[in-house]
Each structure stands twice: as C-alpha cells, then as structure tokens.
C-alpha cells in the first residue's frame, strides 16, 4: 500500500511515462473517488484516514497522465485494472483508466466494430463500491462511531484465491467465482463470515471479464 507522497508521486510518474505497463493492481485506502495513502486515525475514533498531503491519486491525475478523457487515442488506456480500495468503483476510475468501458460485464465483442475489427483493445476493471476491510463489530453502541481494527478473513481469502486462479490461466469471470466460493467457506469466526457475505455484493466488475492474464496483451492482436 502506498503510504506517503513520494510513493504516490512515483506512481504518477510511472503512469505518465510508461507506455508498456498496461495492467495495474493497487491496494490503498479510498474515499469519495480518490485513492489515499496513510493510516487510520485511531485517536479520534472516527474511522478517518490520516493521509499526508499529496499522498493520493484522483481521477484527474490519471486522466492527465493517460489522456483518456474522451475517445482513447493510441494505446494509453489500460487492459486490466484492479483498484483494491474502498469506493474505488464509485467514481470515474474505470473510464479514465480504460476509456470507453461498458457499464457491466461483457465479452470482447463489445469492443468490436460491425466489420469485426476492434475499436479498442478489450479491457476489464475491478473495484469496490463500498468500504471494505473494516467490520461493523467495532462500532461504539453509544456514539455510533467505529474504527476499523482488523481485516476480514473472507476478503483475504478472496484476494489470494483470485490471483491463484488468474496465475493458473483462468479468465477473470471464472477466477472471481472460484475466489468467492473459497472465501465463503465455513469458518469458526462467525462475525467475520457474516461481514464478508455483505462485502461479497460490493465488488464491481466492468468490461470483458473473459480476459485472462495473457489475452490481448499485445496490441497487434487487436489490429
């Protein structure tokens, strides 16, 4: 997880200068359409993130780096992006990273013209539309204020198994289904099971989820 301004500045430089990096997994905090570094404010007990100035990434930062506002030009848009952060799918990160990505899931046919040629490389976005990682069991019954203290085991299992499936060559749709099944296995920690079953509904997938880690990595496949 990127924690300080230097980390985020380095990421912005990579986004702007790299023309070969077309896949991105990022784990961070997120709120209101921005990705943040920092730690939870455990003293105020508000659940807020103490983020150093400049330790963030906005949709405008990405748009400026990739020039994907409007019709994508060249191959600056990404093939696959998983923003593993709270609220990462609530704003416009899918569009600024991927360009004209469909609202829901599809296959590569959604990226083709009537003559069968590609108008854009098939791409896929994954993110969360709510808060993740925290548990409602930390809520103060008197004030209603809560502070995240530990990570849900179901979430960790989902993330681990998802990447294992992708490494094995499964497409994203199959990998997600297998990871969810693995994450929902019975555990002895009942309240964590319950929390994960709620978060299970918060995953957002947009674009071609039949992609694998190896498909359409070369732009010549779409020309």
pLDDT per residue over 45-72, tens digit each? 444 444 455 577 888 888 887 765 444 4
**Most trustworthy range by pLDDT among 35-39, 135-139, 141-145:** 35-39
Of 12-21, 54-63, 100-109, 129-138, the range with the lowest mean pLDDT is 129-138
Residue with tokens 């896929």: 124
Examine the pLDDT at 179 and tell me if it is beyond 70: yes
Q: Who has greater pLDDT, 143 or 182?
A: 182
Greater pLDDT, 141 or 117: 117
Examine the pLDDT at 113 and tell me if it is beyond 70: yes
Tokens found for residue 139:
């809520």
Alpha helices in the chain (DSSP H): 5-17, 59-66, 93-98, 153-167, 172-183, 190-199
Lowest mean pLDDT, pick from 10-24, 132-146, 182-196: 132-146
Residue 190 confidence class, pLDDT cut points 50, 70, 90:
low
Share of the chain above pLDDT 90, in %: 23
Model confidence, pTM: 0.80
Q: What is the pLDDT of residues 149-172, one digit of tens each?
A: 556 777 888 899 999 999 999 999
What is residue 123's predicted lDDT score, i.e. its pLDDT? 92
Cβ contact 5:52 at 8 Å = yes
Q: For residue 174, report the phi and psi dihedrals to the nearest 5 degrees.
A: -65, -40
- Which is more confidently placed, 22 or 112? 112
For residues 91, 95, 210 and 86, what is the CA-based torsion angle, rounded to 10 degrees?
-20
How far are the Cα atoms of 3, 156, 185, 188, 215 from residue 208, in angstroms, in the given order?
A: 31, 24, 27, 36, 11
DSSP state of 101: -
d(CA 203, CA 20): 27
Q: Can you give the residue ranges of every domain in the chain?
A: 5-152+202-222
- Please check whether residue 99 is in contact with residue 68, taking contact to mean a CB–CB distance below 8 angstroms: yes
Mean pLDDT, all residues of the chain = 77
């Amino acid at each position: 997880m990127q924690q300080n301004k230097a980390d985020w500045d380095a990421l912005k430089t990579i986004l702007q200068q790299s023309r070969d990096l077309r896949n991105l997994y990022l784990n961070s905090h997120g709120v209101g359409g921005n990705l943040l570094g920092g730690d939870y404010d455990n003293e105020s007990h508000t659940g807020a993130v103490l983020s150093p100035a400049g330790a963030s990434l906005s949709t405008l930062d990405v748009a400026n780096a990739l020039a994907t506002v409007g019709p994508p030009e060249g191959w600056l848009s990404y093939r696959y992006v998983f923003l593993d952060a709270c609220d990462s799918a609530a704003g416009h990160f899918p569009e600024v990273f991927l360009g004209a990505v469909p609202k829901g899931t599809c296959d590569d046919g959604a990226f083709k013209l009537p003559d069968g040629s590609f108008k854009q490389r098939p791409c896929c976005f994954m993110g969360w539309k709510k808060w993740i990682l925290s548990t409602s069991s930390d809520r103060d019954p008197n004030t209603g204020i809560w502070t995240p203290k530990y990570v849900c085991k179901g979430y960790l299992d989902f993330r681990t198994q998802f990447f294992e499936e992708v490494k094995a060559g499964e497409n994203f749709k199959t990998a997600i289904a297998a990871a969810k099944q693995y994450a929902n296995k019975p555990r002895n920690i009942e309240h964590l099971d319950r929390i994960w079953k709620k978060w299970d509904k918060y995953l957002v997938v947009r674009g071609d989820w039949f992609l694998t880690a190896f498909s359409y990595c070369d732009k010549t496949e779409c020309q």
